[in-house]
Structure formats: C-alpha cells, structure tokens
Amino acid sequence: MKTILITGCSSGYGLETARYFLSRQWKVIATMRTPHEGILPPQENLRVLPLDVTDDASISRAIKAAGPIDVLVNNAGIGVVGAFEATPLSHIRRVFDTNTFGVMAMTQAVIPQMRERRSGVIVNVTSSATLAPMPLAAAYTASKQAIEGFTGSLAHELAHFNITAKLVEPGYAPTTRFAQNTTVRAEDLIPEAYAAFAAPIFQSFANPALTTTEAEVAEAVWRAVNDTSGTLRFPAGQDAIALSRVA
C-alpha cells in the first residue's frame, strides 16, 4: 500500500484530494496547521498530522512522524487579490513563505528518502493564473510562477533517481477557501484610483463563465501521481484546460 502526504488538508483541494486517495485504498497522511476533529472521519488508512510549511521545526517533526512517503502533494497555499501598489510587502512575503518557500522546504525534506529508494512522486499545486495574465493577482501569480519554473527544472534533475515532479494547475474555484486563507481582504487592497478598473473584474469573479471543482483538482492530482508519459503539467477544471490550450 502506497503512502501519500498532502499539505493543506483543512479544506478545499487538499481535503478533497485526501478523500479521493483514501477511496482508492491509499495510506493518506493529511496535514494542516491545526488539526481538529470532524474534517476527516477516523479510518485505518488515515493519519492527520500538524504541519506548518513555513516552520522548519514543524516540517521536521511531520516528516519524522510520517515515515516513508511515496508521494508528496504540496497543496498548502494562501491567496492575495488586489492592486499590487496597495499590497503590503510584508503580506507578499507571507504569500511567498507559504506558496513558494514552503513548497521548496517540503520538497527538500522528502527528496533524501526518495533518492535512497530511487522512487517517488512530488506534485506541486499551482494555479491557472500561471497560464495567462490575471489582473489584480500579480503577487499571487509570481509566487506560483516561481513553482512552475522550480518544478520543471526539478523534474530533470530528479529523473536521474527515478523520482518524478509534476504540476497540477487548478482553475478558478469559487467554493474553495482560497480567499479566506489570508489576513488581508481584497477590498482593502483596492485604492480609489483602481475602483473603476477593479469593479468589472470582481464582477467576473462573482459570475465566472467556467469554474473548477475540488473533485476535478483531486482527479488531476491522481492523474499526475500515476502518469507514466512524462507529462509535466496537468490543468484541472474546464477553465484551466481552456487556458492551457492557448498558453
């Protein structure tokens, strides 16, 4: 039985991905900053561990407690939407700490055991914002674009050890808690000078033509984990797939 460790399982993509792999008889290690009862029902193949991907000591404890890991899914992330001009650099650093450096830290923590076994899969969840420019998302996009380049390069160097690195690129999912996983509200990052520009963009967010479901992201992670074709990118959701065709 293979073991998968997923970050950011308190809600959204991470939670649905944990459910998806459990339903397929995998051993799942679901991690989140503050585990609490009721998120996932207790079952034999499930372990829930505390993990803050921005804390080196927390990462070390989680990796030690997890034991051998066949697959790592770096899903934990926070969002920021608003005018870049008005976004505090302190918050941008927090976004990068989780979305970029947190992914790198987790990846660095699992590579040694995978390299020794000469097997393993690392899946990094980014965003369809990397497929086409999105207004009012400059800092967020930058944090995810960094992981796109990181993963592409990493895939080459880890292939020597029979380790694969993959990208899952979700589209827009209004039902996720993405916008809530931040201490800065979008409305606080829209100065008056940007109001007219931002209004139709927020209207399109409220009434999107195409969206992505959490189940579609979980399915894309499953495809990425089991891929043997050498494919690097797995867009998830109708909107992301449409963007990937023109990117």
Q: What is the pLDDT along the chain (247 residues), one digit of tens a residue?
A: 999 999 999 999 999 999 999 999 999 999 999 998 788 999 999 999 999 999 999 999 999 999 999 999 999 999 999 999 999 999 999 999 999 999 999 999 999 999 999 999 999 999 999 999 889 999 999 999 999 999 999 999 999 999 999 999 999 887 554 455 556 777 789 999 999 999 999 898 888 878 899 999 999 999 999 999 999 999 998 889 988 887 6
- H helix intervals, 118-180: 138-159
Residue 173 φ then ψ, to 5°: -125, 95
- H helix intervals, the chain: 12-23, 56-66, 89-96, 102-117, 138-159, 195-206, 214-226, 238-246
pLDDT value at position 205?
A: 83
The region, left, alpha or beta by phi > 0 then psi within -120 to 50, assigned to residue 136 is left
Query: Does 13 qualify as catalytic in the annotation?
Result: no
Q: Which residues pair with 5 in a beta bridge?
A: 29, 72
Catalytic-labelled residue, pool 13, 140, 172, 194: 140
DSSP code, position 37? T
Angle between helix 89-96 and helix 138-159 axes, rounded to 10 deg: 30
* pTM confidence score: 0.94
Which structural domains are found in the chain, ordered by start?
A: 3-246 (3.40.50.720)
pLDDT value at position 176?
A: 56
